């Protein structure tokens, strides 16, 4: 079945919803989301949004803190752009209906988090992301020009190059009756056949997870807002939907991706057998909670004596990792017992109530915590208007690599980036949409998905086994601390897994689990390739064999493109 729309947005987090609300004023919008519309990383965000709002702060300080956290790889023009448009982003959210907490005098209540030299994190207590997600979802659905497709997953992008190959292969199939193994996406986006990348994006193939149907959604403008990739790792703070879909779809389509070795591990996720990816906000440390080991000793004094618990996330995560290896313990503890109960319930009601469900009274007992994969600092290469290498294809939010985060994201800059880059994207789309639509109308219509010859996958173990192997491999070999031997072993072991997955991919009817497995396999290899290339330690990438930062050779982005990779 073929569907046409003015704008196709894949993903329903803060960036996708905010942009969708604005685009609905000028055309018809289809928003595709893998599960329910609120199953996003935005919903889980506790901390807030960084924005200069106090008299002792300044935009220059925000820029300085962002550059420092990014460890030499931030693109200064983008950092300046985002910091300067932060107040506008906050005002836009408030216009839509988001209400940030304020003090009695009417000024914003501001948290301070690791890496920030001032209090500048606006919040809704520790429900910030959940509140923003709820308001944006409601406003988006207020429009009559929006179709929200829940429980739908994008399979791959449709490009001019794919359409051209479809008709070439169709002619070949018509001439050769034995040519019966062709599927619409069988070429697997191999652009070496054309000598150049496709001219533009024409939409995407989208799988209805409920019934297995694959729709051809054609659009002159497609926006990837698919979020992060934490599920590539065994332990993560991310929701189940975070499988890096947008990043690898763009890569398969010929777009550049960059800095995928810089996976940020959040230092403090709740360690409990029944707790799933529950984050303990950095703001708790910002208020004075201390990290201690099983003997009650404050160990950050050994690893970062100047900044202690308020060091940047990469520093704190490595310190916890080293402390666990030194002691042999399963977790460390975040001690908030110095605070009064009224203060905790007022400032951190979500953390308090959630921990209480697991039998932990954080006013009386230290919180067991461990690091977990949290944020992808790299992603699809975009310009300052969120445009990718492929005409008609934009990327916003965590799946994009704008240059803001560099080697390590400053806390609470992610939600800010999502809104600012959505504003930037709308500005460019508004000015270019007529030209893009004219070009779109001149192209052949995208063909429908052809699954002839494919059969049902009756053995789910083919998916679950490889899924588990990949995530354990990435955690053990490509985690917080890496070395050359483990990275090369990871590459060697991933290769046959990818061959197996890609082989089965064309034999069986697609399911959402199968699509996600293919994506985490491809993304895992891209992370490994990037980590092998970078012969230094910087930000979220720490290699024991290259422990020093090497500005002369490596103060640059790690850029990968489809035809330059080993698979």
Calpha distance 537→530 (Å, rounded): 13
313 is catalytic: yes
Cα–Cα dist 287/113, whole Å:
8
Structure tokens given for 46: 């506790």
* Spatial CA neighbour of 106 closest among 50, 53, 46: 53
How distant, in Å, are the alpha carbons of 418, 428, 554 from that of 421?
6, 11, 27
List of residues 6+ apart from 234 with CB closer than 8 A: 471, 472, 474, 475
Going 474 to 476 to 477 to 482, the CA torsion angle's sign is positive
The CB-side HSE value for 512 (13 A sphere, CA atoms) comes to 18
104 DSSP assignment = T
Query: Could you tell me the two tokens for 137?
Result: 């979802």
375 pairs with which residues across the strands? Answer: 264
Structure token digits, residue 427: 């500005």
Tell me, rounded to whole angstroms, the distance of Cα 3 from its chain centroid. Answer: 27
Structure-token match 């950050």, residue found: 300
DSSP code for 455: B
Residue 374's alpha-carbon distances to 3, 181, 232, 269, in angstroms, are 35, 40, 11, 9
DSSP string, 290-338: EEE-TTS-BTHHHH-TTTGGGS-HHHHHHHHHHHHHHH--S-EEEE-TT
What one-character-per-residue DSSP string does 79-98 give?
Answer: HHHHHHTHHHHHHHHHHHT-
Cβ-Cβ contacts under 8 Å for 55 (sequence gap 6 or more):
none
CB count within 10 Å of CB 474 equals: 23
Considering the candidates 119, 120, 256, 313, report the single residue annotated as catalytic. Answer: 313
Decide if 6 contacts 29 (C-beta within 8 A). Answer: yes
Q: Which residues are catalytic?
A: 313
């Amino acid at each position: 079945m073929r569907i046409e729309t003015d704008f196709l947005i894949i993903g329903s987090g803060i960036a996708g919803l905010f942009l969708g609300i604005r685009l609905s004023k000028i055309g018809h919008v289809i928003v595709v989301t893998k599960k329910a519309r609120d199953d996003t990383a935005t919903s889980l965000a506790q901390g807030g949004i960084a924005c200069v709002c106090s008299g002792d702060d300044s935009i220059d300080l925000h820029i300085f803190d962002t550059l420092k956290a990014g460890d030499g790889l931030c693109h200064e023009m983008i950092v300046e752009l985002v910091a300067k448009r932060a107040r506008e982003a906050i005002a836009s959210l408030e216009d839509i209906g988001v209400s940030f907490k304020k003090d009695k005098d009417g000024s914003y209540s501001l948290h301070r988090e690791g890496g920030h030299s001032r209090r500048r994190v606006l919040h809704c207590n520790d429900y910030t992301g959940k509140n923003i997600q709820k308001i944006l979802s409601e406003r988006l659905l207020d429009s009559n020009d929006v179709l929200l497709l829940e429980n739908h997953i994008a399979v791959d992008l449709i490009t001019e190059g794919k359409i051209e190959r479809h008709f070439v292969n169709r002619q070949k199939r018509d001439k050769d009756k034995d040519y019966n193994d062709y599927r619409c996406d069988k070429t697997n986006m191999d652009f070496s056949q054309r000598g150049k990348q496709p001219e533009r994006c024409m939409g995407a193939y989208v799988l209805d997870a409920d019934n297995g149907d694959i729709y051809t959604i054609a659009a002159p403008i497609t926006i990837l807002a698919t979020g992060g990739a934490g599920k590539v790792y065994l332990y993560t703070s991310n929701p189940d939907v975070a499988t890096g879909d947008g990043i690898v779809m763009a890569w398969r389509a010929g777009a550049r991706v960059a800095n995928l070795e810089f996976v940020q591990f959040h230092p403090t996720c709740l360690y409990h057998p029944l707790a799933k990816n529950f984050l303990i906000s950095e703001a708790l440390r910002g208020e004075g909670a201390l990290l201690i080991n099983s003997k009650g000793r404050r160990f950050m004094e050994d690893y970062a004596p100047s900044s202690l618990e308020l060091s940047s996330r990469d520093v704190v995560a490595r310190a916890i990792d080293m402390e666990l290896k030194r002691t042999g313990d399963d977790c460390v503890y975040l001690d908030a017992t110095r605070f009064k109960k009224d203060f905790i319930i007022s400032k951190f009601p979500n953390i308090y109530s959630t921990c209480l469900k697991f039998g932990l009274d954080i006013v009386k007992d230290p919180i067991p915590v461990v690091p977990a994969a949290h944020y992808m600092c790299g992603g699809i290469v975009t310009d300052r208007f969120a445009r990718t290498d492929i005409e008609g294809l934009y990327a916003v939010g965590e799946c994009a690599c704008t240059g803001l985060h560099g080697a390590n994201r400053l806390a609470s800059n992610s939600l800010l980036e999502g809104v600012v880059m959505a504003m930037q994207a709308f500005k460019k789309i508004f000015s270019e949409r007529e030209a893009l639509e004219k070009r779109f109308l001149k192209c052949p219509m995208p063909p429908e998905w052809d699954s002839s010859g494919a059969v049902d996958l009756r053995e789910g173990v083919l998916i679950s086994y490889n899924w588990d192997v990949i995530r354990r491999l990435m955690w053990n070999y490509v985690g917080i601390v890496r070395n050359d031997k483990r990275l090369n072993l990871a590459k060697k072991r991933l290769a046959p897994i990818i061959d197996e997955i890609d082989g089965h991919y064309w034999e069986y009817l697609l399911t959402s689990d199968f699509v996600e497995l293919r994506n985490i396999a491809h993304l895992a290899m891209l992370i490994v390739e990037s980590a092998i290339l970078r012969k230094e330690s910087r930000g979220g990438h720490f290699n024991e064999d290259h422990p020093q930062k090497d500005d002369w050779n490596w103060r640059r982005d790690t850029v990968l493109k489809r035809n330059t990779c080993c698979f």
